[in-house]
Amino acid sequence: MAKRCVDCPEILQPQIGRGRPRIRCPQCSVKRRGKSLTVAPTPLGPPPGPESPLEALTGLAAGVRAELEAAGRADSVDGMAAIHAAETLDRQDVSGAARASLLREMRTAAADALRAAAPAGGVLDELRRRRDQKSG
């Protein structure tokens, strides 16, 4: 005789393998679990690269931070705003419209910060030139 879910008329699939016997269909058990504790979706970060393991952990925020630090703008207001937005996006608990507007803000802030650092583009080239002058 088929067992039915205790919460809805769904007929439960015969159980395969070990574990506690099910009394709810997958849908109802998910609903139940959702009430007691919020299960955050596992973030799918970038695959860990061989170099710079610290950066590989964070993805977008690390990229934004690295770019701003290279331009010496990571501690500017725009730079911090961009990094903060990127970190929020990295956590991947931002959905739909909020995510889109965060992305837009992040890009605007990062662009403003970088523009302030180098008015005529070529941020990295300019930085390398300065570095070369200092060391040589």
Out of 4, 10, 81, 105, which residue is the one contacting Zn ion (CB under 5 A)?
Answer: 10
Decide if residue 12 touches Zn ion (CB under 5 A).
no
CB of 22 to Zn ion, least distance (A): 10
Distance between CA atoms of 61 and 87, rounded to whole angstroms? 5
Binding-residue pattern over the window 56 to 75 for Zn ion, x denoting contact by CB under 5 A: --------------------
Decide if residue 3 touches Zn ion (CB under 5 A).
no
* 3-class DSSP string for 2-69: CCECCCCCCECCCCCCCCCCCCCCHHHHHHHHHHHCCCCCCCCCCCCCCCCHHHHHHCHHHHHHHHHH
Distance between CA atoms of 107 and 105, rounded to whole angstroms? 5
> Which of positions 14-43 make contact with Zn ion (CB under 5 A)?
25, 28
CB of 28 to Zn ion, least distance (A): 3
Using CB under 5 A as the criterion, which residues of the chain lie in contact with Zn ion when the complex forms?
A: 5, 7-8, 10, 25, 28
